[in-house]
């Protein structure tokens, strides 16, 4: 057999192995009915967010001056063209919720990307090099963890200035220590395994050892943590928006919508109920997926 | 045991120093001149500016300023509020009991409901009851509590008119705040109806604040119980012919509760973060609302002092939990 054939065979083999792993993963994941429902809801939300301009019946920021605080269509005084009613300045709530899905999912993606990449790099460095580097990094993380997360995020936003981008940075900083700790713990348990030693003896450099040899074997807990952080990021960003420190009006961000709706809670239940429901459904769907991922990726639970 | 205690305290010192650096750096990281920020929106004259610059020591090297800050902290000096002109520590001490009262009620609710719910779910694993409890717990865990609070206000204060919307007690009652805990003070006052009023003000905020810890505790109790129920000694106890309630209540629960205790302790940070939102919604005069208001009012010395105090409390409670954990689980102590 020529060397070309051999490498092609190896490639097919690794592709088959990957497919087998995926199939195994899906087998365990799909056993969890909640997780599958969560995934379905989440994918629907992603589609709604992507195609928001096509799905939304109205412009989210257009103020219908004749329709202030119109109730949902099934209530007396409701209007079929505003399915979930309008807010205090006559904007269609359903359209704002649909566009709001974009913000929430975007916040989740950005925050998790920053926190995950930063956390993984710091955790790898701490666990791989040990010594004073490790001590310094972990003490700094302890300091961040000493503050209640929302409080630290609030204060960071106060320093950086209110706004969506700064809120995302603040939340990422607050969520990062969890990734650092997880990565470090996983690296510590892997770094003296035979395959790492073998790779080192074969002449692999530090960077290769850290990112190509060790990291792929630490991924399972990180994936689960990333899912949990995704829902936490959405919740915290909504909370910051609610406190007036996140996205600023008239952005149709769900938390900000709730903040604007607060004064009408006893007069117009719908302006308060629907944005919160949207947050709850999104976060719940992601947490369901997270639980399913944990069960599917955790070999200890698999056996039982 | 003392060695364990001291090593834990030793670990806390660098973390606490880090916390002081953050609270010290906070005012200096704010965009703009710190003295102008402290002066507020009215602005100040040039002489006063120089005077303040000297007084706060902003013109001196940064490490000297930090050292002075630490010395001040050791003497209980957390700075002075710009808005009320009162020492930050005094304000903190006045408002802190309100938050403690709320948080204690919340944790009592969370433990009283969460642990039994977790046990039932574990014992009836896979049943409809288990699925309902765990489903509810996941909803609670995913709950945006600021919205949950608003919903409860709509239902109980708006539609049913059972509870008041905000505050700690009706304005009709006035009595000295001996302990700072409204439930106790209203009882001590002997005024008819005062205690009932205090309870009706406390109930909704505590439910809201309890929601997430309750869900976490129920989930944790269930998984700890499941782990323990599979152990050999539980099987032995069953084989001995002990009644099911005795096996669960005596043998399994005792060991299952060890990790649950840690979880309860870790909820302190969650409670304080939740207090920020809960107190804001219910206008509860505690430190959470105080922090939010101070950020909005740009009362930065208060934010700085409050940040430090809250972090210190979280650290102290975590230390206590750690030590308790060492007490109930000797294996930890010796590692």
Task: Choose the weakest-confidence range: B123-127, B138-142, B261-265, B278-282.
Answer: B261-265
Runs of H (alpha helix) within chain B:
2-29, 34-39, 46-56, 62-74, 88-123, 128-141, 145-152, 182-189, 194-229, 232-239, 244-246, 253-281, 287-296, 300-328, 330-333
Q: What structural domains and CATH numbers belong to chain A?
A: 33-301 (1.10.3720.10)
Instruction: Look at residue B229 and tell me whether its pLDDT is greater than 90.
Output: no
Tell me which of B164 and A124 has the higher pLDDT. Answer: A124
Which of B45, B77, B109 delimits the end of a domain? B77
Nearest CB neighbour to B310, from listed A151, A262, A280: A151
Q: Quick one: B100 and B39 in the same domain? A: no
Nearest CB neighbour to A148, from listed B16, B272, B295: B272
Q: Quick one: B126 and B46 in the same domain? A: no
- Residue B87, classed as helix, strand or coil, is strand
- Asked if residue B242 is part of any domain, the answer here is yes
Domain of residue B39, residue span: 32-77
Runs of H (alpha helix) within B247-299:
253-281, 287-296
Q: Which of B28-37, B221-230, B275-284 is modeled with the greatest confidence? A: B275-284
Task: Choose the weakest-confidence range: B134-138, B171-175, B204-208.
Answer: B171-175
- Asked if residue B281 is part of any domain, the answer here is yes
- Quote the tokens at residue B266: 């870790």
Alpha-carbon distance B312 to B306, whole Å?
10
Give the pLDDT score at A233. Answer: 94
Percent of chain B scoring above 70 in pLDDT: 93
Cβ neighbours of A148 in B, within 8 Å: 269-270, 272-273, 276, 310, 314
Band of the pLDDT at B265, cuts 50, 70, 90?
confident
Q: Quick one: B41 and B157 in the same domain? A: no
Q: How many CB atoms lie within 10 A of CB A228?
A: 19
Task: Choose the weakest-confidence range: A186-190, B58-62, B119-123.
Answer: B58-62
Instruction: Look at residue B179 and tell me whether its pLDDT is greater than 70.
Output: yes
- Asked if residue B11 is part of any domain, the answer here is no
Give the contacts of B65 (CB within 8 A, at least 6 positions apart). B24, B57, B58
- Asked if residue B82 is part of any domain, the answer here is no
- Quote the tokens at residue B227: 């782990």
- Residue A82, classed as helix, strand or coil, is strand
Instruction: Look at residue B335 and tell me whether its pLDDT is greater than 60.
Output: no
Nearest chain B CA: its distance from A49 CA (Å): 20
Asked if residues A66 and A90 have their Cβ atoms less than 8 Å apart, the reply is yes
Nearest CB neighbour to A159, from listed B26, B154, B269: B26
Burial B82-104 (b: 16+ CB within 10 A, else e): beeeebbbebbeebbbbbbbbbe
Instruction: Look at residue B92 and tell me whether its pLDDT is greater than 90.
Output: yes
- Asked if residue B7 is part of any domain, the answer here is no
Tell me which of A112 and B58 has the higher pLDDT. Answer: A112
Give the pLDDT score at B126. Answer: 86
Q: Quick one: B127 and B216 in the same domain? A: yes
pLDDT tens-place string over residues B14-50: 889 999 998 888 877 777 666 776 666 666 777 777 7
φ, ψ of residue A54 to 5 degrees: the values are: -80, -35
Cβ–Cβ of B295/A158 closer than 8 Å?
A: yes
Tell me which of A235 and B321 has the higher pLDDT. Answer: A235
Which of B42, B77, B112 delimits the end of a domain? B77
Average pLDDT, chain B: 85
Alpha-carbon distance A201 to B193, whole Å?
79
Alpha-carbon distance B235 to A171, whole Å?
46
Asked if residues B204 and B104 have their Cβ atoms less than 8 Å apart, the reply is no
Q: Quick one: B40 and B167 in the same domain? A: no
Band of the pLDDT at B146, cuts 50, 70, 90?
very high
Q: Quick one: B71 and B200 in the same domain? A: no
Overall number of domains in chain B: 2
Alpha-carbon distance B2 to B194, whole Å?
46
- Asked if residue B164 is part of any domain, the answer here is yes
Alpha-carbon distance A9 to A173, whole Å?
45
> Does residue B72 have a cis peptide bond before it, meaning omega lies within 30 degrees of 0?
no
Give the pLDDT score at A304. Answer: 39
CATH number at residue B241: 1.10.3720.10
- Asked if residue B191 is part of any domain, the answer here is yes
- Residue A298, classed as helix, strand or coil, is coil
Mean pLDDT for back-to-back runs of 10 residues, chain A (304 residues): 67 80 84 90 95 88 82 82 84 92 93 95 92 92 90 90 91 94 90 89 88 86 90 94 89 91 85 93 94 79 44
Strands (E) located in A98-153: none
Alpha-carbon distance B88 to B94, whole Å?
10
Cβ neighbours of A171 in B, within 8 Å: none
Alpha-carbon distance B82 to B90, whole Å?
14
Q: Quick one: B73 and B109 in the same domain? A: no
Instruction: Look at residue B55 and tell me whether its pLDDT is greater than 80.
Output: no
Nearest chain A CA: its distance from B37 CA (Å): 12
Cβ neighbours of A158 in B, within 8 Å: 30, 295, 303
Give the pLDDT score at A267. Answer: 83
Q: Quick one: B49 and B95 in the same domain? A: no
Asked if residues A234 and A287 have their Cβ atoms less than 8 Å apart, the reply is no
Q: Quick one: B306 and B174 in the same domain? A: yes
Give the pLDDT score at B331. Answer: 64
Which of B12, B44, B77 delimits the end of a domain? B77
Cβ–Cβ of A242/B296 closer than 8 Å?
A: no
- Asked if residue B260 is part of any domain, the answer here is yes
Size of interface A-B (CB pairs under 8 A): 126
Tell me which of A232 and B175 has the higher pLDDT. Answer: A232
φ, ψ of residue B155 to 5 degrees: the values are: -75, -55
Q: Quick one: B179 and B71 in the same domain? A: no
Q: Quick one: B36 and B109 in the same domain? A: no
- Residue A79, classed as helix, strand or coil, is strand
CB < 8 Å from A in window 200-239 of B: 230
Of A225, A212, A233, which is closest to residue A283 (Cα–Cα)? A233
φ, ψ of residue A30 to 5 degrees: the values are: -75, -10
Q: Quick one: B216 and B291 in the same domain? A: yes
DSSP class per residue in B174-233: ----SSS-HHHHHHHH--TTHHHHHHHHHHHHHHHHHHHHHHHHHHHHHHHHHHHHTSHH
């Amino acid at each position: 057999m020529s060397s070309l054939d051999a490498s092609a065979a190896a490639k097919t083999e690794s592709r088959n192995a990957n497919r087998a792993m995926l199939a195994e993963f899906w087998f365990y994941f799909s056993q969890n009915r909640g997780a599958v429902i969560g995934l379905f809801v989440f994918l629907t939300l992603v589609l709604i967010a992507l195609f928001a301009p096509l799905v939304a019946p109205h412009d989210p920021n257009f103020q219908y001056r004749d329709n202030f605080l119109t109730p949902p269509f099934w209530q007396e005084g409701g209007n079929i063209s505003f399915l979930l009613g309008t807010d205090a300045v006559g904007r269609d709530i359903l359209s704002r919720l649909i566009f709001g899905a974009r913000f929430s999912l975007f916040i989740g993606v950005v925050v998790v990307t920053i926190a995950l990449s930063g956390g993984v790099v710091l955790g790898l460095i701490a666990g791989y090099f040990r010594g004073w580097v490790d001590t310094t990094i972990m003490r700094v993380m302890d300091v961040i963890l000493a503050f209640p997360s929302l409080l630290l995020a609030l204060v960071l936003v106060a320093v950086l200035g209110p706004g969506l981008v700064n809120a995302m940075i603040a939340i990422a900083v607050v969520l990062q220590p969890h990734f650092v700790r997880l990565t470090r713990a996983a690296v510590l348990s892997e770094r003296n395994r035979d395959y790492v030693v073998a790779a080192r003896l074969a002449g692999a450099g530090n960077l290769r050892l850290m990112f190509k040899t060790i990291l792929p074997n630490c991924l399972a807990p990180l994936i689960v943590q990333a899912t949990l952080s995704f829902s936490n990021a959405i919740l915290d960003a909504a909370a910051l928006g609610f406190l007036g420190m996140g996205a600023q009006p008239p952005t149709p961000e769900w938390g900000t919508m709730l903040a604007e709706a607060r004064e009408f809670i006893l007069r117009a239940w719908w302006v308060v109920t629907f944005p919160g429901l949207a947050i709850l459904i999104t976060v719940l769907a992601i947490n369901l997926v997270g639980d399913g991922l944990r069960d599917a990726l955790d070999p200890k639970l698999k056996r039982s | 045991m003392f060695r364990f205690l001291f090593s834990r305290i030793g670990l806390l010192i660098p973390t606490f120093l880090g916390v002081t650096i953050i609270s010290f750096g906070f005012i200096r990281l704010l965009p703009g001149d710190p003295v102008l920020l402290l002066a507020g929106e009215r602005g100040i004259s040039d002489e006063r500016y120089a005077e303040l610059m000297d007084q706060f020591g902003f013109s001196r090297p940064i490490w000297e300023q930090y050292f002075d800050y630490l010395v001040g902290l050791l003497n209980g000096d957390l700075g002075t509020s710009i808005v009320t002109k009162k020492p930050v520590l005094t304000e903190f001490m006045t408002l802190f009991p309100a938050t403690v009262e709320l948080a204690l009620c919340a944790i009592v609710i969370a433990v009283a409901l969460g642990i039994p719910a977790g046990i039932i779910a574990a014992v009836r694993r896979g049943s409809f009851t288990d699925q309902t409890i765990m489903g509810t717990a996941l909803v609670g865990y995913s709950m945006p509590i600021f919205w949950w609070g608003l919903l409860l206000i709509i239902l109980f204060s708006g539609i049913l008119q059972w509870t008041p919307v905000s505050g700690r007690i009706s304005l009709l009652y006035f009595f000295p705040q001996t302990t700072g805990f409204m439930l106790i003070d209203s009882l001590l006052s002997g005024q008819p109806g005062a205690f009932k009023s205090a309870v009706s003000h406390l109930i909704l905020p505590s439910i809201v604040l309890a929601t997430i810890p309750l869900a976490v505790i129920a989930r944790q109790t269930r998984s700890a119980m499941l782990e323990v129920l599979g152990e050999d000694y539980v099987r032995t106890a069953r084989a001995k012919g002990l009644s099911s309630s005795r096996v669960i209540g005596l043998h399994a629960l005792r060991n299952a509760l060890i990790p649950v205790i840690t979880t309860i302790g870790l909820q302190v940070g969650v409670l304080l973060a939740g207090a920020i939102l809960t107190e804001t919604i219910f206008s509860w005069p505690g430190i959470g609302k105080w922090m939010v208001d101070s950020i909005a009012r740009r009362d930065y010395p208060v934010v700085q002092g409050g940040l430090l105090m809250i972090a210190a409390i979280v650290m102290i409670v975590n230390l206590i939990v750690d030590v308790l954990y060492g007490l109930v689980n000797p294996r930890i102590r010796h590692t």
